[in-house]
A and B are shown apart, each in its own frame.
Chain A
Amino acid sequence: SQTIHQWPATLVQPVGSPLSLECTVEGTSNPNLYWYRQAAGRGLQLLFYSVGIGQISSEVPQNLSASRPQDRQFILSSKKLLLSDSGFYLCAWQKGDVPGNTIYFGEGSWLTVV
């Protein structure tokens, strides 16, 4: 069966510091991978998606970047965090063979920028 792991689960970082959130998927190959952000009391907003190694698309301009160095690894990064980057970040995966497959989410990472 497929599993998705995301870490760290919680993170408190000062303004201006770098960020790295990591996500890995097991039990599948060539998945579509996603990073979403959830602000307090809000729905989820898609930040980045990837259909393959090295292929990253950004949905919204922001202080963050994403990379996919391996098929099942997706990393969310920032060189200098802003207060507004605080939130709940969720990685998700989907079978990439046909459109319309179910999207599965990880447990999320709480980021607080202070």
Chain B
Amino acid sequence: SQQGEEDPQALSIQEGENATMNCSYKTSINNLQWYRQNSGRGLVHLILIRSNEREKHSGRLRVTLDTSKKSSSLLITASRAADTASYFCATEDRGSTLGRLYFGRGTQLTVWP
């Protein structure tokens, strides 16, 4: 399978704590994207990291990419109850001329107030 796989499947933390989610994949990629999905809603794009990048930041989000290990991590610092959602990683294969994304099954994050 070419899907990304998120780990853990579920994560439960208290407000103020940091949340770390990991993603592993199997192919060579152009980029890796992280998305957030609130229950029953569409996907919201969080960060795109390209294969030649190692780290990107956006507000309280920090994404790392290790292409040698074919893995990525998403760190949410100082989490809030509103961060409760499912988080997905999606990869675009190297050499792809089209945005065909391969998704994992997601990590369900619950942040308790």
- Interface residues of chain A, those whose CB is within 8 Å of chain B, are 6, 32, 34, 41-46, 49, 51, 59, 88, 90, 92, 94, 99-108, 110
In the assembly, what is the distance between CA of A105 and CA of B2, in Å? Answer: 21
Beyond A43-B3, A46-B101, A94-B99, is A103–B88 a contact (Cβ under 8 Å)? no
Total number of A-B contacts with CB less than 8 angstroms?
Answer: 64
Asked if B64 CB lies within 8 Å of chain A CBs, one says no
What 9 pairs across the A-B complex have the smallest Cβ distances? A43-B103, A107-B42, A105-B43, A44-B103, A94-B99, A108-B42, A105-B42, A43-B105, A100-B30
| A49 engages B35 (CB within 8 Å) | no
- Interface residues of chain B, those whose CB is within 8 Å of chain A, are 3-4, 30-31, 33, 35, 40-45, 48, 50, 88, 90, 92, 96-101, 103-106
Closest Cβ of chain A to B106, distance in Å, is: 6
Knowing that A43-B4, A43-B103 touch, tell me 14 more A-B residue pairs with CB under 8 angstroms.
Answer: A32-B99, A44-B90, A44-B103, A46-B100, A92-B43, A99-B30, A99-B92, A99-B99, A100-B31, A100-B50, A102-B45, A102-B48, A104-B45, A108-B40
- In-complex Cβ contact of A41 among B40, B96, B105 (8 A): B105
* Chain B residue with the shortest CB-CB distance to A94: B99
